[in-house]
């Protein structure tokens, strides 16, 4: 089964779900969000989850999620018997490691999700089944990193997030961020990427684009003024980065987003909460 769950809610809310007894749960973040994932007293993830992040849960596991921002997830419910053999690679992921596995910004999983959600491919069961099988094989044969870098501690990460939030319209260097975190540039860059999946510069660009979206959606500010307001030197550079991150130009994104706001909500949506109930977009079992 394949499903998609989206929410435009900006206030904090919680969700809980238990994976079926005979299926693994693969979730791919289609957009960047902020959330906390827990299993009982164990915190699995707490922070900004980048688009393209892949989460894997084993059968019969209860997962709790606390959201702090809008989100969009594509879910694959894959029967355990359909996981491919793990092969003979020395450092391949074992079956017992396919639980609470979080791969930040997995580019291959991201491309698979886009291939399925773009251009109406969701209506093609054979294509969707092929994508799910490819994703399962990608996970089963993924190599474990040879060295492990400790993630930036949450209290240091919050310092960085607060600093960027209040200085995104100024020039921010790697040295500035490392100084805020109290680390050398080399150690900060490695630990920051382990915690967020972003290089520091990539993270800064994404935050500037998120701020730009707010201005584009809620004001009539010109594109040139928006570019300067969020820290870009020129409108051309702003437009290039905006299209690379969102897939659309600022002008087209503004038009499409405003049109979406005035469109009537489809049946089954909850306009008050901004959430859509989980719906099986492809009721076909992987076999």
Note if the pTM is more than 0.75. Answer: no
Give the CATH architecture of domain 154-262.
Orthogonal Bundle (1.10)
Characterize the bridge pairing of strands 23-29 and 54-57.
antiparallel
The pair of structure tokens assigned to 73 is: 């997830």
In angstroms, rounded to a whole number, what is the distance separating the alpha carbons of residues 51 and 70?
12
Alpha helices for the chain (secondary structure H): 107-117, 125-140, 154-167, 174-181, 185-196, 200-218, 223-229, 235-246, 250-262
Alpha-carbon dihedral sign for residues 143, 149, 150, 155: negative
| Contact (Cβ atoms closer than 8 angstroms) between residue 94 and residue 20 | no
Largest CA distance in the chain: 58
CATH topology of domain 2-146: Jelly Rolls (2.60.120)
| Contact (Cβ atoms closer than 8 angstroms) between residue 163 and residue 177 | yes
| Contact (Cβ atoms closer than 8 angstroms) between residue 244 and residue 268 | no
Residue whose token pair is 């238990």: 18
The residue ranges of every structural domain in the chain are 2-146, 154-262
Predicted local confidence at residue 158, as pLDDT: 87
Mean pLDDT by 10 residues, the chain (287 residues): 84 87 89 86 83 88 88 87 57 60 85 80 75 82 60 87 88 92 90 83 89 89 93 92 88 87 58 50 39
Classify residue 60 by burial, with Cβ atoms within 10 Å: 0-12, 13-18, 19+.
exposed
């Amino acid at each position: 089964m394949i499903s998609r769950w989206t929410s435009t809610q900006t206030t904090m809310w919680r969700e809980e779900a238990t994976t079926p007894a005979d299926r693994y749960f693969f979730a791919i973040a289609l957009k960047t969000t902020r959330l906390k994932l827990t299993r009982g007293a164990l915190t699995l993830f707490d922070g900004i989850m980048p688009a393209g992040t892949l989460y894997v849960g084993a059968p019969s596991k209860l997962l709790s999620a606390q959201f702090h921002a809008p989100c969009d997830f594509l879910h694959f419910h894959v029967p355990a018997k359909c996981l491919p053999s793990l092969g003979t690679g020395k450092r391949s992921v074992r079956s017992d490691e396919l639980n609470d596995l979080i791969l930040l910004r997995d580019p291959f999983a991201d491309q698979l999700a886009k291939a399925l959600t773009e251009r109406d491919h969701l209506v093609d069961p054979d294509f969707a089944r092929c994508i799910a099988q490819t994703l399962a094989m990608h996970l089963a044969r993924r190599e474990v990193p040879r060295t492990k870098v400790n993630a930036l501690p949450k209290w240091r990460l919050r310092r960085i997030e607060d600093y960027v939030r209040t200085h995104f319209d100024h020039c921010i260097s790697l040295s500035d961020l490392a100084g805020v975190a109290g680390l050398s540039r080399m150690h900060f860059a490695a630990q920051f990427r382990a915690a967020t999946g972003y290089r520091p510069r990539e993270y800064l660009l994404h935050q500037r684009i998120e701020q730009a979206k707010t201005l584009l959606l809620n004001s009539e500010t010109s594109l040139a003024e928006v570019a300067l307001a969020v820290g870009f030197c020129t409108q051309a550079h702003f437009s290039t980065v905006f299209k690379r991150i969102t897939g659309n130009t600022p002008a087209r994104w503004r038009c499409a987003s405003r049109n979406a706001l005035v469109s009537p909500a489809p049946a089954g949506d909850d306009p008050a909460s901004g959430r859509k109930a989980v719906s099986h977009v492809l009721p076909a079992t992987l076999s």
